[in-house]
Structure formats: C-alpha cells, structure tokens
Amino acid sequence: MTVLVGNEPLLRDAAVVLDEVRTRAHELIAAGHSLTYLAVAGRCWGAIAIADALKPEAASVIAALRARGLRLAMVSGDAPAAARAVAALAGIDDVLAGVLPGAKAQAVRERQAAGARVAFVGDGINDAPALAQADVGIAVASGTQIAIEAADVTLTRGDLGSLVDAFEVAGRTMGVIRANLFWAFFYNAALIPVAAGALYPIWGVRLNPMLAGVAMGLSSVFVLANSLRLRRIPSWVAPGRKVLAAATGSIVSGR
C-alpha cells in the first residue's frame, strides 16, 4: 500500500484523483492557505490546510517602504492562489509564486540584470540562495541559521518595523559619510595652503604651528560631532503599536 503526503503536483504525478476534495481545497487556497494532501492507495483521503498569520504591522511596513520609493515584490514557494491572497492583505501587487529555492535566486538575478539593486528579506532554508545572491540579504533572527549566515544583515527582533529602521539608518549613514568627506576635503584644501604660507607673500599672513594643530584637531571634532547625529534617528513605530522596533543595520521579500 502506497501512502503519499505532499502538494497537488506530487499527487497529480502519481495519478491520484483529487475530485473529492477539490472544491473545498480551492476554497481554502483562495483564503490564503497552503494544502498538504494525504493519499492512500491512489485515493486522496484529505488535506491539511496551513496558513501563515500576517504580522499586524505588515501592511503599514509595506506602505512605509513604498513611500521611500522602493519597488516591492513577494517571491513564494506557496501555491499561486494562496500567495496572492497573502500578498493582497500585505498590499503587494508583484507576486511570483510556486517557485523552488533556485528560482528565487534566479528572480533576484533577473532584476539585477535589469539594473536594479535588490534587497531580499527571508527567514527560511529555501531563502538562503536568494539571500546570498541579493545585493543586500536581510534575515530575521527568528529564522533558520542557514538564512542568517547567508544574509548580510540580521534583524534582531521579529517586528517588521525594523526593516524601515534599517533603510532609514542606512540612508542617513551614507548621507553623513558623504558630508564628512566633503567638509574634511574642503577644510583641509582651504587651510593646508594657509599653513604652508601661501598667503604670506600677499598679505603677510602666517599660521602659528600651535593654531595649525588646533585647527587640525577641530576637523576631527567636526567629523565626530556630525557622526553622532545618527544617535538621534527616531525608531519607526507602526500605527497603533506601542513597542519601538530596533534597527541593526543597513525589497523583494520571500516567504
């Protein structure tokens, strides 16, 4: 006696007839459930419906990321109908469903080939190839160890608001780095000729070595003070939530 447990393609390949459960199965799939079927001796005896609970802040996080100008997509191994149902609740229009782990990485490569810089968010073993392929792989600490190792950034809390914080911290950090480089170059380009005596033949101005040392120290103080502004970045809070999300670093998302 043969016992099969798996998805619909597995049972279809084994010539198992699903007519007895098809109507109810389609209702569950349309509601966002993934189904695992049980077949004994070529006959389907039933199915187990599994559904991922959408995090309360998911829709708000998606809206916040889209407001930053990001293009969002969901890449899922779930059945297309179930994936689309979950994506609709989260507010995601671009859905690629029913894919294997290798196809997730391929989806990332295709977007990169089109000139996009891709951040991939995932927490499972099947997300590891895509996390490694993405320009920035973002794993959730509650996910599998292999996903964490493949990712570039790990969010230490399960609250998806950390994603918004991560992008905010990354954007502001790059802004501070550019400002520090500009002002350090401008400051030194202006004062080094003065310290070298370039103004002495014209106006008789010379820079005392002690003042030159102080001026050099002030350039470092400015860079440090400008960098400390990053400590005042407010954490993103989903509407209606009281817990602040913590950012740990600087989306195509996977399920």
What is the C-alpha to C-alpha distance for residues 121 and 126, in angstroms, rounded to an integer? 12
Question: Quick one: pLDDT band at residue 244, thresholds 50, 70, 90?
Answer: very low
Task: Judge whether 144 lies within some domain.
Answer: yes
Considering the domain architecture, whether residues 131 and 200 belong to the same structural domain is answered as no
Considering the domain architecture, whether residues 137 and 169 belong to the same structural domain is answered as no
Task: Tell me the per-residue pLDDT of 78-131, one tens digit each, with 9 for 90 and over.
Answer: 778 778 888 888 889 889 888 888 889 999 999 999 999 999 998 888 899 999
Task: State pTM to two decimals.
Answer: 0.68
Residue span of the structural domain in which 194 resides: 164-232
Task: Judge whether 244 lies within some domain.
Answer: no
Instruction: Please give the average per-residue pLDDT across 237-243, as a whole number.
Output: 41
Considering the domain architecture, whether residues 154 and 82 belong to the same structural domain is answered as yes
Task: Judge whether 253 lies within some domain.
Answer: no
CATH number, position 64: 3.40.50.1000
Task: Judge whether 238 lies within some domain.
Answer: no
Task: Tell me the per-residue pLDDT of 168-184, one tens digit each, with 9 for 90 and over.
Answer: 888 888 989 999 888 88
What is the C-alpha to C-alpha distance for residues 158 and 123, in angstroms, rounded to an integer? 10
Would you state the structure tokens that stand for residue 237, as one six-digit string? 């809070």
Return the H-helix or E-strand segment holding 154. strand 153-155
Task: Judge whether 240 lies within some domain.
Answer: no
The phi and psi torsions of 5 (rounded to 5 degrees) equal -130, 120
Considering the domain architecture, whether residues 106 and 191 belong to the same structural domain is answered as no
User: Residue 42 — left, alpha, or beta (φ > 0 → left; ψ -120 to 50 → alpha)?
Assistant: left
DSSP state of 196: T
Considering the domain architecture, whether residues 205 and 136 belong to the same structural domain is answered as no
Considering the domain architecture, whether residues 188 and 223 belong to the same structural domain is answered as yes
Cβ–Cβ under 8 Å, residues 123 and 142: yes
Considering the domain architecture, whether residues 153 and 168 belong to the same structural domain is answered as no
Task: Judge whether 243 lies within some domain.
Answer: no
What is the C-alpha to C-alpha distance for residues 165 and 184, in angstroms, rounded to an integer? 28
Q: How many domains does the chain have?
A: 3
Considering the domain architecture, whether residues 138 and 217 belong to the same structural domain is answered as no
**Bigger pLDDT: 18 vs 138:** 138
Q: Which pLDDT score is estimated for 198? A: 65
Task: Tell me the per-residue pLDDT of 8-67, one tens digit each, with 9 for 90 and over.
Answer: 778 888 888 777 777 787 778 777 777 888 888 878 888 888 777 777 888 888 988 988
Task: Tell me the per-residue pLDDT of 202-227, one tens digit each, with 9 for 90 and over.
Answer: 777 677 777 777 777 787 888 888 88
Considering the domain architecture, whether residues 169 and 147 belong to the same structural domain is answered as no
Considering the domain architecture, whether residues 187 and 106 belong to the same structural domain is answered as no
Return the H-helix or E-strand segment holding 252. strand 252-254
